[in-house]
């Protein structure tokens, strides 16, 4: 059967492909053939294949060709290795599918059992990235709405370069958005309290693969050659390694199983370099790196990943500039990231953490001033914020945190896709503590009437320094019906009180204004709170804010809180 006929069977009729394919219905136990893969370097090696059984279940998710594989390439690899997925399997000289799964219980490392995804199922995935005549695929590809997590037997390892061990560990396990209690947390969907790492998204192995000089030119994307699905490129590179199954007229099929199972996707299709294949007790794996971008991967399905050479997703341009004020040094990390909501905040946080760690060359306390900007096709204007963070243990963890949190809020906002295109972060970190504590709050008197002005004085004490005062006044609403008001002085943002309604947001523009209006941690606020009328009915003390005054002390973390109760009396 020619590819053109095979494509017509799956409803395409779009390509006139030259090689022959072998449908699953024609595969029989006892048939022999071969597969193609790269174990190390740039040589495509052949291994032998013998069909043991054919699994033909209803639908095509359960359809596999069970084979035994053998030969020097398999022996050298310690069995079937992660990264071999996608290796084309030929039976009777025809393409039958791609090596995609291995039997971990197989004790025979020289002739292990493996599973082949039938070519028919893979061609259906190719159909999603090959447009009907006259209808080009959008440059950025389609988007995934409701992704499902995969559980393949043999998944592609993710190779990473440019990350320290702890940034690499964060990439694997994810991080908690609730690192600091913050009003923005309530804007997140309930399932986004924690950002999952690559392990939770179905990646079984994340391998540190430093850039190796003199590795030579990358191989062309041909059947049996290595291929990368890139998530980050530049000073930081992250990408899954697999093998090309089919390339025809610029369309590429690979893996024989999903990567992150997002369905429609916008990953980078890259060249790849295989340094060697590492034999391991659980699963052997290919050690390598992703290379130059060749196009985009626009479909990530159960049977394969499919992409197009020459059609590259725009991605997100990210730059992280960090200055160590203690040593007078600076580090700039530049990378290009995929645009994928489930991954964006994780990649921003990991890249930012790496930039800080490289700049500081230590883990420890300090104070950081941070400024970041996000731009996007779906944002009415750039969002820029400044903040300051202090830690007595590990200041680096805080530097990229707010950026990642805001990016997640934007990614999952209810109004429209932000379409992030540019992310920039600048931070200056000093080894000491720049902080001021709110130590006292005094009102002019302790009894007031509605409509009165409340004069106050706040005393701040600098970290290992002197004290300073801040004076001002607030007005009690004339129509306020409350037995008392609470005068409160505090640093930074505060959580919403029970008597306050959530913010009324009706557009992305409203969301941006709300984010821009939340106080930074170098802000001192004095606020008046009144007792909510429903407090007596619910049996709880519900408060809501009625007036406030604030001021910033740039570069100084203001912390602590003091409250004063002021009685109200009628006319």
Residues 523, 383: one domain?
A: no
Phi, psi of 402 (to 5 degrees): -65, -40
pLDDT of residue 441: 97
Residues 263, 213: one domain?
A: yes
DSSP 11: T
Structure-token pair, residue 388: 């300051």
Q: Show which of 380, 403, 430 is a domain's final residue.
A: 430
> Residues near 557 by Cβ (< 8 Å), separated by ≥ 6?
367, 388, 389, 390, 433, 434, 435, 436, 491, 492, 521, 522
CB-CB contact of 436 with 422 (8 Å): no
> Residues near 218 by Cβ (< 8 Å), separated by ≥ 6?
271, 272, 273, 291, 292
With the C-alpha atoms ordered 182, 187, 190, 196, is the resulting torsion angle positive or negative? negative
Choose among 312, 291, 272, 218: nearest CA to 84.
Answer: 272
Concatenating the DSSP letter of every residue in 436-476 gives: EEEEEEEES-SEE-TT-EEEEEEEEEETTS-EEEEEEEEE-
> Residues near 397 by Cβ (< 8 Å), separated by ≥ 6?
179, 353, 391
pLDDT of residue 19: 63
Half-sphere exposure at residue 170, Cβ-oriented, CA atoms within 13 angstroms: 23
Kindly state whether residue 148 falls inside one of the protein's structural domains.
no
With the C-alpha atoms ordered 263, 266, 270, 276, is the resulting torsion angle positive or negative? negative
Kindly state whether residue 149 falls inside one of the protein's structural domains.
no
Measure the N-to-C terminal CA separation of the chain; round to a whole number of Å: 95
Kindly state whether residue 281 falls inside one of the protein's structural domains.
yes
Q: Which residue has the tokens 């805080």?
A: 398
Chain centroid to CA 40 = 30
Phi, psi of 298 (to 5 degrees): -110, 0
Structure-token pair, residue 68: 């035994």
Residues 172, 303: one domain?
A: yes
Concatenating the DSSP letter of every residue in 276-312 gives: EEE--SS-EEEEEEEEEEEEEEEEE-SS-EEEEET--
Choose among 46, 57, 47: nearest CA to 24.
Answer: 57
- H/E stretch holding 37: strand 32-38
Angle between helix 508-517 and 401-411 (nearest 10): 160
Choose among 377, 367, 34: nearest CA to 223.
Answer: 34
Kindly state whether residue 407 falls inside one of the protein's structural domains.
yes
Kindly state whether residue 146 falls inside one of the protein's structural domains.
no
d(CA 316, CA 60): 35
pLDDT along the chain (571 residues), means of 10: 41 45 92 92 90 81 88 85 89 93 66 90 90 49 36 67 93 87 70 84 81 64 93 94 92 92 94 79 73 94 93 96 96 96 94 97 96 97 96 96 93 93 98 96 94 97 94 95 95 91 92 93 97 83 94 96 92 52
Kindly state whether residue 181 falls inside one of the protein's structural domains.
yes
Q: Which residue has the tokens 């369905």?
A: 263
Task: Please tell me the total count of domains within the chain.
Answer: 4
3-state secondary structure 143-200: CCCCCCCCCCCCCCCEEEECCCHHHHHHHHHEEEHHHCCCHHHHHCCHHHCEEECCCC
With the CA atoms of 411, 416, 417 and 422 taken in that order, what torsion angle do they form, in degrees rounded to the nearest 10?
A: -80
> Residues near 116 by Cβ (< 8 Å), separated by ≥ 6?
64, 65, 66, 67, 89, 96, 97, 98, 99, 100, 256
Residues 30, 107: one domain?
A: yes
Structure-token pair, residue 49: 């294949």
Residues 291, 189: one domain?
A: yes
Residue 520 lies in domain: 435-568
Residues 273, 323: one domain?
A: no
d(CA 160, CA 430): 30
Residues 325, 390: one domain?
A: yes
Residues 408, 472: one domain?
A: no
Write the CATH number for 117: 2.40.10.10
Burial of 259 (0-12, 13-18, 19+ CB in 10 A): buried
Residues 549, 447: one domain?
A: yes
pLDDT of residue 147: 35
Q: Show which of 398, 413, 430 is a domain's final residue.
A: 430
Residues 41, 121: one domain?
A: yes
Residues 443, 419: one domain?
A: no
3-class SS of residue 384: strand
Kindly state whether residue 250 falls inside one of the protein's structural domains.
yes
Chain centroid to CA 36 = 33
pLDDT of residue 9: 36
Q: Show which of 309, 342, 366 is a domain's final residue.
A: 309
Structure-token pair, residue 450: 């509605």
d(CA 81, CA 44): 15
Residues 258, 212: one domain?
A: yes
3-class SS of residue 244: strand
Kindly state whether residue 139 falls inside one of the protein's structural domains.
no
Half-sphere exposure at residue 239, Cβ-oriented, CA atoms within 13 angstroms: 35
User: Could you give the residue ranges of the DSSP H alpha helices within 332-415?
Assistant: 341-360, 401-411
């Amino acid at each position: 059967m020619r590819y053109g006929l095979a494509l017509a069977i799956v409803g395409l009729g779009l390509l006139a492909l030259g090689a022959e394919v072998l449908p699953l219905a024609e595969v029989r136990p006892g048939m022999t053939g071969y597969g193609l893969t790269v174990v190390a370097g740039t040589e495509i090696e052949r291994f032998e294949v013998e069909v043991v059984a054919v699994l033909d279940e209803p639908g095509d998710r359960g359809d596999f060709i069970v084979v035994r594989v053998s030969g020097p390439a398999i022996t050298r690899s310690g069995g079937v290795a992660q990264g071999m997925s996608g290796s084309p399997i030929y039976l009777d000289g025809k393409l039958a599918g791609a090596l995609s799964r291995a039997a971990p219980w197989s004790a025979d490392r020289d002739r292990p059992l493996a599973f082949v995804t039938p070519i028919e199922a893979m061609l259906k995935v190719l159909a999603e990235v090959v447009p009907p005549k006259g209808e080009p695929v959008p440059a950025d590809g389609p988007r995934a709405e409701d992704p499902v997590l995969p559980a393949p037997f043999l998944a592609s390892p993710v190779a990473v370069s440019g990350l320290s061990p702890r940034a690499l560990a964060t990439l694997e396990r994810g991080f908690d958005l609730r690192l600091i209690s913050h009003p923005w947390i309530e804007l997140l969907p309930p399932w986004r309290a924690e950002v999952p790492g690559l392990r939770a998204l179905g990646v079984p192995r994340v391998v540190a693969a430093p850039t190796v000089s003199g590795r030579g030119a990358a191989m062309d994307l041909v059947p049996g050659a290595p291929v990368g699905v890139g998530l980050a490129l530049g000073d930081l590179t992250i990408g899954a390694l697999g093998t090309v199954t089919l390339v025809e007229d610029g369309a590429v099929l690979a893996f024989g199983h999903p990567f992150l199972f997002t369905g429609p996707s916008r990953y980078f299709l890259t060249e790849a370099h295989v340094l060697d294949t590492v034999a391991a007790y659980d699963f052997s794996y290919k050690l390598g790196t992703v290379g130059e971008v060749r196009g985009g991967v626009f479909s990530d399905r159960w049977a394969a990943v499919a992409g197009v050479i020459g059609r590259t997703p725009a991605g997100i341009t990210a730059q992280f500039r960090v200055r160590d004020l203690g040593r007078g040094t600076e580090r700039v990390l530049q990378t290009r990231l995929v645009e994928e909501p489930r991954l964006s905040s994780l990649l921003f946080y990991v890249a930012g953490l790496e930039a800080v760690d490289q700049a500081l060359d230590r883990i420890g306390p300090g104070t950081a001033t941070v400024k970041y900007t996000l731009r996007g096709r779906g944002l009415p204007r750039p969002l820029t914020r400044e903040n300051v963070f202090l830690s007595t243990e590990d200041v680096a963890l805080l530097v990229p945190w707010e950026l990642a949190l805001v990016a997640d809020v934007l990614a999952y906002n209810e109004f429209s896709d932000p379409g992030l295109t540019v992310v920039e972060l600048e931070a200056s970190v000093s080894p000491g503590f720049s902080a001021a504590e709110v130590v006292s709050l005094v009102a002019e008197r302790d009894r007031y009437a509605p409509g009165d002005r409340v004069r106050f004085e706040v005393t701040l004490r600098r970290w290992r320094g002197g004290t300073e005062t801040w004076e001002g006044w607030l007005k009690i609403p004339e129509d306020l019906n409350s037995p008392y008001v609470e005068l409160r002085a505090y640093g930074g943002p505060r959580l919403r009180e029970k008597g306050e309604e959530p913010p009324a947001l009706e557009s992305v523009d409203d969301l941006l204004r709300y984010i821009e209006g939340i106080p930074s941690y170098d802000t001192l606020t004095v606020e008046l709170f009144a007792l909510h009328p429903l407090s007596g009915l619910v049996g709880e003390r519900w408060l809501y804010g009625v007036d406030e005054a604030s001021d910033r002390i740039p570069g100084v973390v203001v912390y602590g809180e003091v409250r004063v109760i002021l009685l109200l009396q009628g006319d």
